[in-house]
């Protein structure tokens, strides 16, 4: 048995001693003696025979200590699962843009040059329904409404929804990304029948900040009307979830927590979340790129938010099962433009060079090379740099679009890595602090109890199904808050 390359062994005076393994996504708390044993293992020493079997068994089970070839086998299984997901044809995932036109002029929007587009014609709608029906292997259909501003073409959303649901496929709950300005009472009343279970709306700060960034085509303000529509949405009988995205850069960084506190107070008890999105223009927009937060600045911002408990998990603990797949990498995942053009990534919409096909073409896929690049060309398990990275199992390779730009377009300025590559220990410490605080609070709420002596070692994430054993073997997810984590946002998030 030898020390896994996916281990992170660390300690602090305040928090204690820990070992984290990215392959199993397991964090183990240790006493000083067991920490010393693992320090020896890290330096190439064999585990002493006197160590209790339970501890050694845990190290083997969680891949802290591995046999030759074991890590490669685990990655091989994950690579197989990734490919199986990518090439699964049973679910057809469509992001439909009924128009690329928008009533806003947000300076950082990656669709800033596409604001004069038309609307999806009746003929294209007919063909889209036919094309979906032709996907013989599909058993279910998921739909996200996007744009431009999809509410400018709300009649198309309604008619296409009715026709697509009539095809007999299992219709998953739909979602919509909208700026919220046109989300009036009449449209809200129809969201349920349209199967729209989540709506993402953007507010970029308090009124004065938002109205300097997200303006109408004529330069007019938008904050008050959007907030009024959000209020109408959450007060209605609609049973869905409203996600408020705040696009963050250096210009509005300081206002996020203020806006979040105001919104959560105003909408207390509602199905509403508030989360930050990273403004990252990739150099394609006229927006001042110096205003964007660099990767390390974004990581520092996310860690600062963790100190305010602005996270579902109570910290920046890595998520389980990162496989690096998204609509761009999946065989049956497409973004459909208003002319019936097909793309693989939301950020490609409106760029003719990034079209992979058209529903009007005899052979739908007209650029199989671009499809293959997204599906397998940017596979992190085939990338020599990723294969030696200690956080590959929890990163999954990052954004496929960014990887494609770096690999095939020579964009050396584009980095697809997650914040875990450089700030993993900081992220884990944020999780530990919140967990400790919650354990302390829980003890204080149980009158007559005393603090339990900490065991020699215990798994603190993921939480074991049973209480810890006395000798040291001792959560799943922390109680849900109303805010998502601020890990790197997928590229498909609308700005």
CATH classification of the domain holding 208? 3.20.20.70
- 106 within a domain of the structure (yes/no): yes
pLDDT digits (tens, 9 = 90+) for 429-480: 988 988 888 888 887 887 665 555 678 999 998 754 433 332 333 222 222 3
Question: b/e map of 470-480 (b: 16 or more CB within 10 Å)?
Answer: eebbbeeebee
CA 387 from centre of chain? 22
Q: Is the peptide bond before 148 cis (omega within 30 degrees of 0)?
A: yes
Residue 98's contacts (CB-CB under 8 Å, 6 or more residues apart) are 119, 120, 145, 147, 148, 150, 153, 156, 157, 160, 338
What's the whole-model pTM score?
0.87
What is the model's pLDDT at position 452?
59
Count other Cβ atoms within 10 Å, centred on residue 36.
Answer: 12
The closest of 483, 490, 486 to 241, measured between CA atoms, is 483
Q: Which residues contact 168 (CB under 8 A, 6 or more apart)?
A: none
DSSP 475: -
Three-state DSSP at 457 gives strand
Q: Domain limits at 168?
A: 87-358
CA distances from 66 to 28, 101, 154 (A): 16, 55, 56
pLDDT (tens digit, 0 to 9) for every residue of the chain, 495 residues total?
A: 899 999 999 999 999 999 999 999 999 999 999 999 999 999 988 766 667 779 999 999 999 999 999 999 999 999 999 999 999 999 999 999 999 999 999 888 876 455 567 899 999 999 999 999 999 999 999 999 999 999 999 999 999 999 999 999 999 889 999 999 999 999 999 999 999 999 999 999 999 999 999 999 999 999 999 999 999 999 999 999 999 999 999 999 999 999 999 999 999 999 999 999 988 877 555 676 678 888 889 889 988 888 776 654 445 788 765 677 899 999 999 999 999 999 999 999 989 999 999 999 999 999 999 999 999 999 999 999 998 999 999 988 889 999 999 999 998 888 888 889 999 999 999 889 888 888 888 878 876 655 556 789 999 987 544 333 323 332 222 223 333 333 334 343 455
Q: In sequence order, which residues have a C-beta less than 8 Å from that of residue 190 and are 6 or more positions away?
A: 158
The alpha carbon of 169 is separated from its chain's Cα centroid by a whole number of angstroms, namely 27
CB atoms under 10 Å from CB of 145, counted, come to 25
Q: How far apart are CA 128 and CA 402, in angstroms?
A: 29
**3-state DSSP assignment of residue 18:** strand
- Three-state SS at 177: strand
In a domain, 432, yes or no: no
Report if residue 448 sits inside a domain.
Answer: no
Query: What pLDDT is recorded for position 446?
Result: 76
Q: How many residues does the chain have?
A: 495
Q: Is 91 a member of any domain?
A: yes
pLDDT at 412: 83
At 14, list the tokens.
Answer: 């305040």
Which candidate, 382, 380, 422, places its Cα nearest to that of 403? 380
| Secondary structure (DSSP) of 336-369 | E-TTSEEESSGGGTT-GGG--EETTSSSSBS-HH
Is the residue at 155 inside a domain?
A: yes
pLDDT at 101: 94
Assess if residue 287 is contained within a domain.
Answer: yes
Token pair recorded at residue 163: 């026709």
- The structural domain count of the chain equals 1
Q: Rounded to an integer, what distance in angstroms lies between the CA atom of residue 6 and that of residue 4?
A: 5
Q: Is residue 488 part of a domain?
A: no
Q: Which two tokens stand for residue 414?
A: 């584009």
Within-domain flag for 189? yes
Tokens of 8: 């992170």
48 contact partners, CB below 8 Å, separation of at least 6: 37
CA-CA-CA-CA torsion sign (53, 56, 60, 61): positive
Spatial CA neighbour of 243 closest among 113, 155, 144, 142 = 144
Peptide bond connecting 442 to the previous residue in cis, omega within 30 degrees of 0: no
């Amino acid at each position: 048995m030898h020390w896994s390359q996916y281990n992170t062994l660390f300690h602090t005076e305040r928090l204690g001693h820990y070992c984290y393994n990215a392959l199993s996504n397991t964090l183990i708390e240790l006493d000083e003696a067991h920490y010393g044993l693992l320090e020896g293992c890290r330096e190439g020493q064999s585990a002493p025979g006197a160590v209790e079997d339970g501890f050694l068994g845990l190290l083997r089970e969680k891949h802290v200590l591995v046999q030759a070839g074991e890590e490669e086998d685990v990655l091989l299984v994950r690579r197989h699962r990734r490919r199986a997901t990518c090439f699964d044809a049973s679910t057809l995932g469509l992001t439909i843009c009924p128009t690329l036109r928008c009533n806003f002029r947000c300076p950082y929007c990656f669709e800033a040059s596409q604001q004069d587009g038309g609307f999806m014609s009746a003929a294209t709608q007919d063909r889209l329904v036919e094309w979906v029906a032709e996907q013989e292997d599909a058993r279910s259909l998921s739909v996200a409404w996007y744009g431009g501003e999809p509410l400018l073409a709300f009649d198309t959303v309604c008619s296409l929804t009715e026709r697509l649901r009539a095809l007999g496929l299992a219709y998953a709950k739909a979602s919509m990304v909208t700026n919220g300005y046109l989300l009036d009472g009449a449209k809200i009343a129809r969201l349920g029948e349209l199967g729209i279970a989540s709506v993402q709306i953007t507010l970029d700060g308090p009124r004065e900040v938002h109205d300097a960034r997200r303006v109408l085509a004529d330069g007019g303000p938008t904050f008050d009307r959007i907030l009024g529509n959000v209020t109408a949405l959450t007060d209605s009988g609609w049973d869905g979830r409203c996600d408020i995205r705040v696009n963050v850069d250096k210009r509005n960084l300081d206002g996020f927590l203020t806006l979040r506190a105001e919104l959560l107070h105003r909408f207390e008890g509602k199905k509403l979340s508030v989360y930050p999105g990273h403004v990252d223009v990739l150099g394609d927009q006229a927006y001042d790129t110096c205003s964007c937060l660099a990767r390390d600045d974004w990581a520092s911002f996310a860690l600062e938010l963790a100190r305010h408990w602005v996270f579902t998990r109570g910290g920046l603990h890595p998520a389980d099962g990162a496989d690096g797949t998204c609509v761009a990498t999946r065989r049956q995942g497409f973004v459909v433009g208003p002319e019936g053009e097909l793309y693989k990534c939301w950020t490609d919409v409106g760029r003719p060079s990034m079209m992979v096909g058209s529903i009007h073409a005899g052979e739908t896929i007209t650029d199989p090379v671009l499809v293959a690049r997204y599906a397998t060309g940017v596979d992190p398990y085939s990338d020599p740099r990723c294969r030696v990275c200690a956080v590959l199992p929890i990163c999954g390779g990052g954004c496929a679009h960014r990887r494609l730009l770096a690999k095939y377009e020579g964009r050396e300025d584009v980095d697809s890595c997650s914040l875990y590559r450089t700030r993993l220990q900081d992220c884990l410490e944020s999780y530990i602090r919140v967990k400790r605080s919650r354990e302390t609070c829980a003890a204080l709420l149980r009158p007559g109890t005393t603090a339990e002596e900490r065991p020699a070692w215990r798994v603190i994430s993921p939480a074991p199904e049973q209480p810890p054993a006395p000798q040291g073997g001792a959560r799943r997810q922390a109680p849900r808050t109303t805010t998502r984590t601020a890990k790197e946002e997928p590229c498909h998030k609308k700005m």
